[in-house]
Amino acid sequence: MSIKDVVKEKYGQVAASALSNRDEGVRKVAEAFGYLADELSSIPAGANLGLSCGNPLATASLRPGEVVVDLGCGAGLDVFLAAARVGPTGRAIGIDMTHEMIVRAKKNAAEAKLGQVEFHEASIDKLPLRDNSVDCIISNCVINLAPDKEPVFREMFRVLKPGGRVAVSDIALKRKLPHDLAADLQAYVGCIAGAISIPEYERGLHSAGFGTVHVVPTGADLNVYRNVEGQCACCSPTTEGEEAVIQVTRFSRGGVSKQEGAALRANVTAPLARYDLNDLAASVNVYAVKPDEA
């Protein structure tokens, strides 16, 4: 099974869980990374699964009528918040390779009744979008999961209009990872082992054609994942000795409880429990602009 297949399987299981914005731990993780309580209460509860490592909308500066695309949209958290900013004359488009996430996002969209929202099941390195058709690209803790990031950067550049911008929240490495962590597939799914350094991020975006590029640490505490009781976020470690193995077949039948969903997310990144996440990596804001003459 490839890394991509494992990522799809694990996040598909989370999408099938009962986790939502109604859970205190899920809300606290989002709020720790800059989302306001009023924002979270304005969207369908099922759109927030506690998978954030930042808030890309804080730097996106979206305007009415714009087209915004969310790479790795999950259940739609940032898509719905973006839709409110671009308004009925704009479009907010979510892209995710995990079928279960798209199913959940479309269900949330039906609840929200927003005509400017749409979701597509696709990989972020092969976007189902026309050249020069997008004003802004956002993403939240997803690009680190791409095994090969260069095609992702090239696709971002291709679909953006000249002068279009990137406003991404992600994880970047501060130093070389310990061997056991770098080689651990579960740590990859947990947003750490697949991350690259800030210089690598900047070089990759410049190589794709972007002019202005900034990758800036936010200073957010990544250990918030372990400090919020009952949360289920992307980089959450399990407590020592905790048993959180959940069979895939249980998820395929549906009806997964909040507790099982939280346990799954903890199990996904159990290797991280041995490390101080802030020593290894940082939450970063990524900003880039496609040149006007491109």
Measured between alpha carbons, how far is 147 from 239 in angstroms, rounded to an integer? 28
User: How would DSSP label each residue in 3-31?
Assistant: HHHHHHHHHHHHHTS---TTSHHHHHHHH
At 215, which CATH number?
Answer: 3.40.50.150
278 inside domain: yes
30 inside domain: yes
The pLDDT, as a whole number, for residue 251 is 29
Tens digit of each residue's pLDDT (9 = 90 or more) over 48-71: 999 999 999 999 999 999 999 999
pLDDT at 284 over 60: yes
226 inside domain: yes
Instruction: Please give the residue range of the domain that contains residue 172.
Output: 3-289
50 inside domain: yes
Measured between alpha carbons, how far is 167 from 29 in angstroms, rounded to an integer? 20
Tens digit of each residue's pLDDT (9 = 90 or more) over 98-128: 999 999 999 999 999 999 999 999 999 999 9
Number of domains making up the chain = 1
Q: In 18-55, which positions are buried (b, 16+ CB within 10 angstroms) versus exposed (e)?
A: bbbbebebbbbbbbbbbbeeebbeebbbbbbbbbbbbb
The pLDDT, as a whole number, for residue 243 is 32
Q: Is 32 left (phi over 0), alpha (psi -120 to 50) or beta?
A: alpha
215 inside domain: yes
Tens digit of each residue's pLDDT (9 = 90 or more) over 125-140: 999 999 999 999 999 9
The pLDDT, as a whole number, for residue 270 is 52
Tens digit of each residue's pLDDT (9 = 90 or more) over 204-262: 999 999 999 999 999 998 887 665 544 444 544 333 333 332 232 222 334 445 555 55
pLDDT at 202 over 60: yes
84 inside domain: yes
256 inside domain: yes
Q: Which residues pair with 75 in a beta bridge?
A: none
pTM: 0.87
Place 263 in a pLDDT band, splitting at 50, 70 and 90: low
Tens digit of each residue's pLDDT (9 = 90 or more) over 32-50: 999 999 999 999 999 999 9
294 inside domain: no
